Amino acid sequence: MKILVTGGAGFLGSHLCEKLLQNGDEILCVDNLFTGTRQNILHLLSNPNFEFMRHDVTFPLYVEIDEIYNLACPASPIHYQFDPVQTTKTSVMGAINMLGLAKRTKAKILQASTSEVYGDPEIHPQIESYRGCVNPIGIRACYDEGKRCAETLFFDYQRQHNVNIKVMRIFNTYGPRMHPNDGRVVSNFIIQALKGEDITIYGDGSQSRSFCYVDDLIDGMIALMNSKDGFYGPINIGNPNEFSILELAQNILELTKSKSKLIFKPLPQDDPKQRKPDISLAKKELNFEPKTELKEGLLKTIQYFKKTLDL
């Protein structure tokens, strides 16, 4: 098949392109390289089934394809708050342009949505029927509401134009090729620990997250794309094992054998206190269950950063 991956030079996109190439598909990787990098896909450029195109999804794209994975959008607060208007445009105009392409080519299209659509959740763990608790005018709204609007567009295109959609809500994911300066907690802690710098914890460290290793996430994404017609989602994909931020920091200190000290700073505005997916639907519909334990995944990620940062 001819498969388009938007945001294909990013953290998740590059792993997805790699996996799809192993399946024998032809991949068109599209990225404007705002947060993605050529380095992430350098090893794929010599593959005759792989093509890279520098393009911004806020502008239409005219290609012939069978499937679309729409991953284009900066996904860490540092990057999506850098230009919040552009972030909203990427989610909303990007969805409109990719859905228009899917409609014209009759391609199946998957939207990489996010657990951020749940905001700072009032129920725990989060199930797909929960409608969220999002501040529409806060500093995170460009991303949260942009992704919520993209989901709206996907389901409206399905109802109005019979586009074959799949919508997944991605929970915290980590692994090799994370951007070293994206401000995410796993990459932040690992880099600080490897450099012997103080590890910065926002709040008291009691807030929790569920961390999914990238290989498990990509398996879930492909399983959703290949799921039965008529099943659209939305569906949570992530790891339901929950850890406090303090526990994560302690794990990383242990695995890196670092002597870094923990320091505590105020919690940013609208930062969720808890985040944990209910993956019952993914188990039932996709037979999805993450396999990688946190320490195993952290070790692989630490090795990656040691190599790339030459530490």
Residues 74 and 196 in one domain: no
Provide the domain limits for residue 229: 2-173+213-237
Q: What is the mean pLDDT of residues 85-109?
A: 97
Residues 65 and 81 in one domain: yes
Strands 208-210 and 242-244: antiparallel
pLDDT tens readout for residues 204-260 = 888 888 999 999 999 999 999 999 999 999 999 999 999 999 999 999 999 999 999
pLDDT at position 258: 92
The CA distance from 154 to 217, in Å, is 21
pLDDT at position 151: 98
CATH number at residue 78: 3.40.50.720
Residues 34 and 160 in one domain: yes
Q: What is the mean pLDDT of residues 80-103?
A: 94
pLDDT of 274 higher than 90: no
pLDDT at position 195: 93
pLDDT-above-70 percentage for the chain:
98
**43: which DSSP letter?**
G
Residues 259 and 130 in one domain: no
Residues 98 and 144 in one domain: yes
pLDDT of 311 higher than 70: no
Let me know if residue 281 belongs to a domain.
no
pLDDT at position 153: 98
| Predicted confidence band of residue 16 (pLDDT cuts 50, 70, 90) | very high
Residues 258 and 110 in one domain: no
Burial 131-161 (b: 16+ CB within 10 A, else e): ebebeeeeebbbbbbbbbbbbebbbebbeee
Residues 302 and 263 in one domain: yes
Dig out the tokens for 92 from the structure: 């909303």
Q: Report the number of distinct structural domains present in the chain.
A: 2
Let me know if residue 285 belongs to a domain.
no
Residues 229 and 181 in one domain: no
Cα 59 to Cα 30, 80, 91, 291, distances in angstroms: 12, 19, 12, 38
Which contacts of 59-64 are long-range, i.e. CB under 8 A and separated by 24 or more positions? 59/97, 60/97, 60/100, 60/101, 61/4, 61/30, 61/97, 61/98, 61/101, 62/101, 63/4, 63/28, 63/101, 64/2, 64/105
Q: Specify the range with the lowest mean pLDDT, choosing from 98-112, 126-140, 282-296.
A: 126-140
Let me know if residue 269 belongs to a domain.
yes
Residues 135 and 162 in one domain: yes
Cα 96 to Cα 55, 140, 268, distances in angstroms: 15, 21, 31
Task: Provide the annotated active-site residues.
Answer: 143
| Predicted confidence band of residue 305 (pLDDT cuts 50, 70, 90) | very high
Classify residue 78 by burial, with Cβ atoms within 10 Å: 0-12, 13-18, 19+. middle
Residues 35 and 110 in one domain: yes
Residues 150 and 163 in one domain: yes
Let me know if residue 287 belongs to a domain.
no
pLDDT of 79 higher than 90: no
pLDDT at position 270: 62
Residues 39 and 65 in one domain: yes
CATH number at residue 262: 3.90.25.10
Let me know if residue 282 belongs to a domain.
no
Mean pLDDT score of the chain: 93
pLDDT at position 294: 95
Q: What is the mean pLDDT of residues 2-23?
A: 97
pLDDT at position 267: 77
